[in-house]
Amino acid sequence: MSTSKKTVVADHLREALSRGAYKPGERLPGEEELAERFGVSRATARLGMRILQDEGVIAIQAGRGAFVADHRPIVHLATPVSGGTDSERFEDGYQPHLREAGYDQVEQRIKVSLDTMRPRVAKRLRWGGEEEGPHGGLVVIRSCDRFVEGGLWQSQITYFPFTIASNTPLMAPQHLEQGVASVLRDLGHREEWNWDIVGARMPSQDEADSFNLGPGIPLLVHERVVYDGDRPLRFTETVMPANRHQLLYSGGEAPEELLLMASDVNIFER
């Protein structure tokens, strides 16, 4: 099967990008130049560039041209590491990394709501529908949207069984300075262990608009369920654009400088 002309254009550009012929943020040749170089029409050159835009490797700006995508993700601390705290701790864990990366306007907006335990949440919290009093099937939901320079950067939602969070500080739509784990501990629930799942998916149109994502950019989804013994205490889901975040896990006796070392790593480097 012969390769289409638009694919030829895309393949040549992709190869040039992979060997570093163009630097992140650099403007690419225009449609007319590419059409002449590859002996195709401008329309075909444009289609070839759109293939790379859909892959998230270039950004096409109306009236300005096409530019190499400049992905500079910050570290999302998936687990506590020496020199830093879990990214679930906004002021101690997530916010400082953004400020160190040069972002000045960083804020978190919290909402709290009450809902029935939907099947997806019930599955994570291992609630099988058995009654635990009149509110056994309810969850308290803490939503934390994190904004950078006015735009949505990361969204985190934590679900607590109503029997745990009812009439506690967890239901207040305010920043918990001491952190969720400390509040739970004060309530007699100790976070003994957890499991995490990390995956990637393409955003819905609403999510793409909310995060201001261009074509070809997936979302990272980080799920965590925390237990006290065999009892689930909470289910936390963090959704974040893959071009802005990279997850850091550590094990063993990691050195104090690990956070600094990892902050200098960019998975998009070629």
What is the tens place of the pLDDT at every residue in 110-139?
Answer: 999 999 999 999 999 987 655 454 456 899
Q: Could you give all domains of the chain from N- to C-terminal order, each with its CATH number? A: 5-68 (1.10.10.10), 74-263 (3.40.1410.10)
Percent of the chain with pLDDT over 70: 89
Give the model's pLDDT for residue 263: 73
Q: Are strands 151-161 and 231-241 parallel, antiparallel or unpaired?
A: antiparallel
Q: For the whole model, what pTM was predicted?
A: 0.79
- Cβ within 8 Å of residue 72, ≥6 positions away: 101, 266, 268
Residue 151 has pLDDT above 80, yes or no: yes
What is the tens place of the pLDDT at every residue in 76-108?
Answer: 877 766 555 555 566 666 677 777 777 778 888
Residue 7 has pLDDT above 80, yes or no: yes
Taking each helix axis as running N to C, give the angle between helix 42-54 and helix 31-38, from 0 to 180 degrees, rounded to the nearest 10.
Answer: 110
Give the model's pLDDT for residue 218: 93
Mean pLDDT of the chain: 85
CA 181 to chain centre: 22
Residue 165 has pLDDT above 60, yes or no: yes
**Tokens representing residue 265 in the block:** 């790593």
Torsion angle, alpha carbons of 28, 34, 37, 38, to 10: 130
